[in-house]
A = this chain, B = another copy of it.
Amino acid sequence: RSWRMSENGALPLRGKVLTVDTMNANVKKVDYAVRGPIVQRAVQIEKELKEGVKKPFEEVIKANIGDAHAMGQRPITFFRQVMALCTYPQLLDDNKFPEDAKNRARRILQSCGGNSIGAYTTSQGIDCVRHDVANYIQRRDGGIPSDPDNIYLTTGASDGIVTILKLLTAGEGRTRTGVMISIPQYPLYSASIAELGAVQINYYLNEEKCWSLDISELQRSLQAAREHCDPRVLCIINPGNPTGQVQSRQCIEDVIRFAVKENLFLMADEVYQDNVYAEGCEFHSFKKVLFEMGPEYSSKVELASFHSTSKCYMGECGFRGGYMEVINMDPEVKAQLTKLVSVRLCPPAPGQALMDLVVNSPQPGEPSYQTFIKERTDVLSALAEKAKLTEEILNTVPGISCNPVQGAMYSFPRITLPERAINEAKAKGQAPDMFYCMKLLEETGICLVPGSGFGQREGTYHFRMTILPPTDKLKIMLNKLKEFHQKFTQQYS
């Protein structure tokens, strides 16, 4: 701690108790690009625009984060009706609300202490919601059973992911837990690994093969990691973030075999499970594939899978709803997990209620069914259209090459940067794609995240762009981007 004597020598003038030198060193190592310097600058620019500062554009377009409602997507009517009923139960007497919405609300409220979503729930989550989640998983996975006791409701998927990583982190030095993550990755993973002081193990996705996962690369990365840590976890994001690929059934089988062979705990981040657009692609849950591989696998592999209210067709990020399912978890560890989550008392009850609606949506014959299906289909087909559009327009730009956006909500195109731009960035101490994105923001108002925030092969450059802006705006944005890229290339050639 820093101590200095005062000028008159009387009293010691003390420095702060908490400084960057004396704070938690792991926290300092945390990096989270999705809300990093680019986004902070974007917020500043928005303020400047409001204050009347002249810019070469009229608004900032935030394509940096998968935030559907912020990009104008409308909430699903049924979901919000039920949530309003749960929040203000006097509305149950209002004939403006459909009966199925009222029934859902009554059922949720009956499961709450004092019939109020203002009461704490059990730490694992509201009983009836966990049952509904288990039923949903069972339907989704063609009848493979799901046990409500294995379901934990969470504060968004992030909370569940961090909790499982926390359980798994142990050892010191060469025995410290290593966590295998894809590169490019979603930076929640690297951030949590840093915070927990675990060891990050990178395996690279194959950009040439549409960001697919090669087992040989898993093997290489594992082998290398075993020299300096204890690799115990393999994390998969499917459909991929930021890379938008959808894994084939075969690939998932291979990953599971690899996990068995190498004795790894599997974490499957499946929050984009409804976001599959490309023809011939289909979402396969790790749980389903695992059980279809037979008891030799399904009785053995420890798996945690994650879902959320934030993505798919709902886009309800603000509610922080989510769940995880744990398979083959040691019962004693499960008791520890239950104890651990109880310290924070419970996930937000509105998020739990919303999760319930996602897994227990209107059924044929119910009054809200038609509207619900129409709203869901509209969102998903617009996303499919925008996925295609993004790929097409970006691939018309010399120096940009973009894999098909098979699923999720992002494109992660590769950009060729002129040598002079790279040098200028390096002279400024910036990653070259950060330099590029910052210039793009200042000149066009488009806010993207540089590929360096997600990780990429040395010497390659990318950015992540969401496909969420409304189609008109997306087209304008893509064309502005095209123009910018050409200008930028010219300027630095």
Once the chains bind, are A318 and B112 in contact (CB under 8 Å)? yes
Q: Chain B residues near A118 (CB, 8 Å)?
A: 68-69, 75, 314-319
A332–B315 Cα gap in the complex (Å)?
A: 34
- The answer to whether A330 has its CB under 8 Å from any CB of chain B is yes
- The answer to whether A81 has its CB under 8 Å from any CB of chain B is yes
Once the chains bind, are B167 and A119 in contact (CB under 8 Å)? no
- The answer to whether A298 has its CB under 8 Å from any CB of chain B is no
Once the chains bind, are A16 and B328 in contact (CB under 8 Å)? yes
For A151-167 the 0/1 string (1 means CB < 8 A from B) is: 00001101100100011
Once the chains bind, are A320 and B348 in contact (CB under 8 Å)? yes
Chain B nearest CB from A35 CB (Å) reads 4
- The answer to whether A416 has its CB under 8 Å from any CB of chain B is no
- Give the number of copies in the complex: 2
Residues of A234-265 contacting chain B, CB below 8 A: 263-265
Q: Chain B residues near A489 (CB, 8 Å)?
A: none
Once the chains bind, are B114 and A332 in contact (CB under 8 Å)? no
**Which single member of B14, B65, B343 contacts A192 (CB below 8 Å)?**
B343
Q: Chain B residues near A456 (CB, 8 Å)?
A: none
Given contacts A118-B318, A188-B343, contact A332 B167 (CB under 8 A): no
Chain B nearest CB from A111 CB (Å) reads 12
For A362-405 the 0/1 string (1 means CB < 8 A from B) is: 00000000000000000000000000000000000000000000
- The answer to whether A117 has its CB under 8 Å from any CB of chain B is yes
A192–B344 Cα gap in the complex (Å)?
A: 10
Stretch in A84-92, A208-216, A419-427, A475-483 with 4+ CB within 8 Å of B: A84-92
Once the chains bind, are A167 and B114 in contact (CB under 8 Å)? no
Once the chains bind, are B116 and A342 in contact (CB under 8 Å)? no
**Which single member of B16, B232, B339 contacts A17 (CB below 8 Å)?**
B232
Residues of A92-127 contacting chain B, CB below 8 A: 94, 96, 112-114, 116-123
Once the chains bind, are A69 and B113 in contact (CB under 8 Å)? yes
Once the chains bind, are A336 and B87 in contact (CB under 8 Å)? no
Chain B nearest CB from A118 CB (Å) reads 4
